[in-house]
Structures are given as C-alpha cells and as structure tokens.
Structure 1
C-alpha cells in the first residue's frame, strides 16, 4: 500500500483573513505613473531615451531589478551600446539606481492620489474584520514618503513591506507577501488574497499560496490616467481591458477586475469557495 494512502487532506472552511495590496496602480497612482516617469527621467540623465511602454515592461519588480531588466531589453541595450560601447553593467545599474532614488522620493507623493473607490472598499473590508497588508516594489525610503501621504488622504493599512526590507529579495518571490502574513498573524495562507496590477505581483501571490486578483484598468497594463480611461469610447475601453485581462490571466490571476472599487464582490466569491473547502 502506498505510504501516502492514509494522508489526510486538510481543508480550510473559514473566512478571508487578510488581503495583501500592492501600492502604485492598486491603492494609489491610477495608471502607475510614479515609477515609470521617474525611470524615464533617470535614464535620460544618462543620455538614454526610453519610452513609457518600455519603462512599463518590468513593472512590479524591485526598482534595482527593474532598471537592470530595462537594460536587458534589446532596444534599450542597443541604445546603451551605441552610446557607451558596451551593454549595461552592474555598476551602471547601481549608478542609475542612485540617480533614480532621490527623484522617486521627491516625486512619489505628486503621483500618488488614492484610486477612486479605495477608501470605501478598505472601510468595508475592515468592517468584516479582514486585515489589510501591503507590499511594493518601492524601497523603504520611498515608502516612508508614500505612507504619510496616503494617510493624509485617509488611506491606512495595517502593515506595509518595502522591497528592501527583506534579504531574500522582492517579486516574483513570495517573501513580502509572507512577511505580511507573519506580521498580521494570519493562520492560513488560503485565507489570504493578493491584489496587484502587475505580472510579478500576481506571481508573488501565487508563490505565497494565496488567491490572486489582478487589476486591469487602474494599473500598469493599461497605463492611462483615470481621466484618460473615462475619455475612451466603449470599443477602445474594451480593447484596453481585454489586453490587460489576458496578460494577468496568463500570469495565473484567479480573478481580474477593473480596479479596487470592484474588489468586494470578488472577496465574496472567494469567501464562498473557502466555505466549500476550496484552496487557491
């Protein structure tokens, strides 16, 4: 008889205990412009032009990793080699990161208006005794500027992890999400939901054993401001939504919604699945 014949499969039937949110494109900064525009400006300081589309490709990674990934894009690599005679080296990434950081700290608040619907949704979740965690590709120095700015707008979470708070590294690894689990005292990973607008953020939640919810219109994949999204006609809006939904779904998102404003219905759906013993 196989050794695992009597193995008991454990099923959790309790409620959703915690939701772990990303920041830019999820809770604040509709369209996720703070990281991208500042990266464009940092590269420009080195005489390298990158487009907004290129800047968005590695979004969700820790910012040092984001810069390194941008340098590996074939078109960006070609421009770097044309100017400097070699591909971007580690010391070049360090120099770009050093230029990027003060710009990001200075400007993050400018872009980080709370996304419409976030405040009432967080209030609804708190009323259900759901704990509110968060993590970001931003380093701690940027989070220390962002958190008080968010608080001034009424947005407060129970815990926030920055990408350089932990030695193992950032996304797509599970460490920041799991650090929230420990700090918040969550007893079951299946009782957690990770909400993010990027592929690495979805992969982070999956690696941590959580339900994952992707955000299409408010985040990096569409990359438009709230007013620009409102100005789209029905056909253009659906095209933007469809492309983002497809990419986040391919990454493994269990659900994809337009923005945090649509989250309560998904939380209800996941709660029902948990009650039936389902796991992510």
Structure 2
C-alpha cells in the first residue's frame, strides 16, 4: 500500500476542542427544557450534528419532528459559532508540522467533519488555514446525503483531490464513527487519535489500525508504506 492521501477530522483531531462541542449540545438542549449529562454527548461525537440531536432526543423518549430538530440544531449552531468566535482556536500539537511534511512529500490531504459548512467556515477562518493552503479540500456533513458512518464525505474528498483508489488513503479521527467511516469507505488504514473524546482504551474497542497520541506519529506510519 502506497499512501496517496490522508483525510482528517477537525475538532479533537486536528484542532483543540476543550469540551466546546459538548457544552454547545448541553446548552442547545437546555434552551428547550432538556437537561443533558456530560456523558450523553460522548457517544454522538463525530456524527452529523442534526443526526446526533435526533439520537439524543430519541434516547430521552422525545418524539420531535423535523422542525423541532432543526430548531435545536439552529441553537447548537449559534452556540458553536459564538464559542469559536470568542476563543483562541489552536491546532493540536504536531498538526501543522504534519501538514507541512505531507505537502513536502506530495501526499494530498483534506478534511471532513460532522459540522455544517456554516460552523466549519468559522473554524477555518479563525485558524487561517484557507490562507495557509491547508484547507484546499473540505467536506462538511450538510454537503452529502448522509454523514458518518456513511462513506460519502470521504468519497467527495477523493473527487476533490483527484484520488482514484481509496485503498491508498488513510482516515484520521478521534471517534468511533470516524473509524466506521474509514472502514465503510474502504480506506487502506484507519488511524485514531487520543486527543479528542475517547481514551486509548476506548479507541481500542473500535479496532482502528493504529492509535496515536501525537499527530506527528502519523509520519512514521506513512513511512512504513511509502
């Protein structure tokens, strides 16, 4: 297997999260009279956010129609944009160095996310990744017919990057659905990072090909195949 492309998740994988997504979920539900426990949000991390909201609502026995789900999602979006506009977002350690190494070695990379384009654009602008030419290929969950664990965001990234063979691609993420997405798409390798929602012990249960604690460990993995 020769690695031709890497597909990264964003929050918790390449960008600091510090519980921002969790708090946004809790505040969005609170606005509609529902109190969530912290751990209730963990299992839906990585999902398309409106799908995550439906999963949580169903677990609470709430028969919310699509309009209500959209209202909660709108509140979640408002919460996320406000947080990301107010905090100093930072790439996680080793991320920029890894991006530069990939560029130097002619390996394409892109991003996919459970966020909508509206939220993602705030994140990318805050990080300056558009200007730095890191974010040439980005696919958001509202730009495909279904988010993770479906493979459609990866397939769209392949189209954007001109990659024909998914077996030459690596998926990198911090959640269970990142692993499932990579496997469902047929990626050659799936790499989990411990910088997000789950511990190493948790991630081992999802059976990725590799688990790393620091993004620059990805370089050594790629060098095994290239």
| Length-normalised TM-score, structure 1 | 0.74
Q: Does 1:68 align with 2:54?
A: yes
Q: Which residue of 2 aligns with 1:207?
A: 184
1:143-198: CA deviations, max 9, x gaps? 111111122695823311110012x2111100001101011011211110010111
Q: Which runs of 5+ in 1 are unaligned?
A: 1-12, 82-86, 223-240, 273-280
Larger displacement relative to structure 2 (47-56 or 184-193): 47-56
- 1:4-46, Cα deviation, whole Å (9 max, x unpaired): xxxxxxxxx5x31110000001110245x22211111111112
Is the alpha carbon distance of 1:97 and 1:104 closer, same or farther for their aligned partners in structure 2, counting shifts above 3 Å? same
Mapped pair 1:23 → 2:25 = no
User: Paired residue for 1:260, among 201, 215, 224?
Assistant: 215
Correspondence for 1:169 = 146
Q: Which residue of 2 aligns with 1:233?
A: none
Confirm whether residue 106 of structure 1 aligns to residue 92 of structure 2: no
Change (3 A) 1:180 1:40: same
- Kept in 2, the 8 Å contact 1:29–1:115? The answer is yes
1:111 offset after TM fit, Å?
6.5
Contact 1:159 1:180 in 2 (8 A): yes
Q: May I ask how many residue pairs the two structures share in their alignment?
A: 222
- For residue 167 of structure 2, the aligned residue among 182, 187, 190 is 190
CA contact (8 A) 1:171 1:200 kept: yes
- Give TM-score, length-normalised by structure 2: 0.91
Residue by residue over 1:28-84, the C-alpha shift from the partner in whole angstroms, topping out at 9 and shown as x without a partner, is 0245x22211111111112221122111111111000011111223xxx1xxx6xxx
Q: Deviations over 1:98-140 (max 9, x none)?
A: 2211121222342732101101111111111001111000001
| C-alpha displacement of 1:261 | 2.9
Normalized per residue, which structure has more strand?
A: 2
Do 1:34 and 1:112's aligned partners in 2 also have CA atoms closer than 8 Å? no
Q: Is the Cα contact below 8 Å between 1:19 and 1:131 reproduced in 2?
A: yes
Distance 1:259 1:155 in 2: 22
Determine whether 1:248 maps to 2:206: yes
Find the aligned partners of 1:158 and 1:118 in 2 and give their Cα distance. 16
CA contact (8 A) 2:124 2:135 kept: no
Flag the structure with larger Rg. Answer: 1
Structure 2 equivalent of residue 237 of structure 1? none
